[in-house]
Amino acid sequence: MAKKKLRVGILFGGKSGEHEISLRSARSILAAINRKKYDVVELGITREGRWLQSREALQLLGESAVSAGNDTGLSIAAAAAEPTVDTGIDVVFPVLHGTFGEDGTIQGLFELADIAYVGSGVLGSAAGMDKDAMKRMFVAAGLPLTPHVTLLRSQWKSDPKKVTRTIEKALQYPVFVKPANLGSSVGISKVKSRKDLAAAMDLAASFDRKIVVEQSVGGPGVKPRELEVAVLGNDEPEASIVGEIVPAKEFYDYEAKYELNGADESVSIIPAKLTAAESNKIRKMAIQAFRACDCAGLARVDFLMAPATKGKPAEIVLNEVNTLPGFTSISMYPKLWAASGLSYPKLIDRLIELALERHREKQQTQFSR
């Protein structure tokens, strides 16, 4: 008898602002995944948070039913509450970006349901999402960062003058003001002087209770280079070659990421033009950052590099880790692996293997004495 095919749930959509980006990533994965090897179950989450499967999930993707439509009874949530429930899924690939998908919340559900899943666990996901917690982990690992301060929305609302003093004491303009937990540059502003600070703080405060304010890398008038590394693995992660993004705008904001097309588009350069020493240093730091945040499976690690000026050498700092980076076949993460010799379908295979490996490894843990 033929070996039973592994049943893989591809989960996409979701309540985050990155719903649409998730659908793009999922369309690519569904088109490329090896169906000789896997039974694919499409699982969609609407913008309202309702779970859908097979035919209905495909409708969410705007596609007619391309698969036979495997039904699982959407039992992941049921399995979290009732151990005898069979989810009918061997492994889930949460192709979800941002809040409720990349931040540890859904990973918590998979843990409760005891189901294998692609990517980081609860802690790695939450750390990769929270720019304040992430920076603490980077600092503890001795990794270089741009100076920053973290403030609470409540502090900003109750005493904006004091918060302004705190920021100006620690940092020099221009600064970047960011909601601590979000993605795709939503809610982020570059602030060049005090007159624009309040609007930027209000905007960031509308998206999160924590606000991170950072010194601009390179200082006034400098557009830092944006370098990205794809990391793959569990306990022995590997780093791809280094890629570079040249944003089409003053910084890599939402529009520069997703909305500009053709000649106006942001450009990616693979491999980035760097010396061997710079590239080795960046790849090593990418693995350290992955480990510092307790990531698993995959993460894209992003750096900012201020070019060398007279009397000052180039400065490379860590910007962030993304635990579920954009995953269309032309997104940076898969492209970096393709350029490093691992094709897109093979990368999907590898991520599924790593998910199963991590799940098996976890079974060695005893949860009570």
Ligand X SMILES: Nc1ncnc2c1ncn2[C@@H]1O[C@H](COP(=O)(O)OP(=O)(O)O)[C@@H](O)[C@H]1O
Query: Could you say which residues in the range 179-218 bind ligand X, by CB under 6 A?
Result: 182-185, 188, 214, 216-217
- By beta-carbon proximity to ligand X, the closer residue of 176 and 337 is 176
Near ligand X in 52-91, by CB under 6 A: none
Decide whether 42 or 103 has the Cβ nearer to ligand X. 103
Of 83, 58, 86, the C-alpha closest to 74 is: 86
Contacts with ligand X, 134-163, as mask; x by CB under 6 A? ------------x-----------------
Cβ contact 270:335 at 8 Å: yes
In the bound state with ligand X, the residue whose beta carbon lies nearer, of 115 and 175, is: 175
Residue nearest ligand X, CB atom distance: 252
Cα separation, 99 vs 209, in Å, equals: 14
Quote the least distance from Cβ 208 to ligand X, whole Å. Answer: 12
Query: Smallest distance from the beta carbon of 33 to ligand X, in angstroms?
Result: 26
Task: Please report whether residue 290 would count as binding ligand X according to CB under 6 A.
Answer: no
Per CB under 6 A, does 226 bind ligand X?
Answer: yes
Which one of residues 176, 290, 333, 344 is an interface residue with ligand X (CB under 6 A)?
176
Of residues 291-310, which lie at the interface with ligand X (CB under 6 A)?
302, 304
| Rounded least distance, CB 175 to ligand X, Å | 8
Q: How far is the CB of 306 from ligand X (least distance, A)?
A: 9
Q: x/- contact string, 320-349, with ligand X (CB under 6 A)?
A: x-----------------------------
Q: Kindly identify the residues of this chain, within the stretch 240-269, that bind ligand X according to CB under 6 A.
A: 247, 251-252
* Burial of 106: CB neighbours in 10 Å, binned 0-12, 13-18, 19+: buried
Q: 241 or 304, CB closer to ligand X?
A: 304
Q: Determine the interface stretch with ligand X among 37-45, 174-182, 292-300, 335-343 (rule: CB under 6 A).
A: 174-182
- Positions that interact with ligand X (CB under 6 A): 146, 176, 178, 182-185, 188, 214, 216-217, 224, 226, 247, 251-252, 302, 304, 319-320
